[in-house]
Amino acid sequence: MGMWYDLISQYGYVAIYLLLTLGIVGLPVPDEVLMAYLGYVTSIGKLSYTLTVLSGIAGSVTGITISYILGIKLGEPFIRKYGAKLFIKEKAVKRTNRLFHQYGAFMLFICYFIPGVRHVAAYLAGITGYGYRKFSIYAYVGAVVWVVTFVSIGNHLGSHWRLIFGFTQKYMHSMLILLLIIIIIAISWYFFLKKKKGTRKL
């Protein structure tokens, strides 16, 4: 934690941006714990909540875009050959492939909430030829939700921000299911209102 504190104290929002970028690309940065810590720092007034969130989103978007471009330019042989050096395990590649088959492009949204998978999803999206527009809609919205969620949790937990580590390990799958349910309800409600509005015009 001392290293994070020093980097963030010295370089502020630039450090946040770089840490989140590198964490998404594949370096071993414990992203959720980092963001919870940042949330705590905002709660004591050392950093601006808004600028912290914006820096985190910018870093996440940059990181996942770099991964996507690498997937397009370098393809699967690059992952197979150099994945281990980027801390990307073969097991994570297989798991992400399986989830892509199950959830399609929506995987780019939920991948942030699954440690290990978020480091691989964008590479595979580039390798398998997802168009940039499709990629960006899911991946960038996911980045916003992910960063806001964990920085906000750290902000509300305050000095107890370290609890996020045990919490995410124990309840991550439950959180993911709850998030999916909320999204499905929101989308269904949106189309219901849209259909209702269209019926009134007729």
Cα 146 from Cα 32, distance rounded (Å): 9
Residue listed under structure tokens 């398998």: 128
pLDDT for residue 81: 65
Range of the domain at 142: 2-201
Is residue 38 within 8 A of residue 158, CB to CB? The reply is: no
pLDDT for residue 85: 60
pLDDT for residue 50: 95
Give the three-class secondary structure for 27.
Answer: coil
Element (H, E) at 158: none
pLDDT for residue 21: 92
pLDDT for residue 187: 63
Mean pLDDT by 10 residues, the chain (202 residues): 74 92 80 85 91 96 92 74 62 70 78 77 82 90 91 81 57 56 63 64 52
Distances in Å between the alpha carbon of 117 and those of 126, 150, 153, 164?
Answer: 15, 17, 22, 19
pLDDT for residue 32: 80
- At how many degrees (to 10) do helices 118-127 and 132-157 cross? 170
Q: Give me the number of domains the chain comprises.
A: 1
DSSP string, 76-138: HHHHHHHGGGGT--HHHHHHHHHHHHHHGGGHHHHGGGSTTTHHHHHHHHHHTT--HHHHHHH
Is residue 152 within 8 A of residue 38, CB to CB? The reply is: no
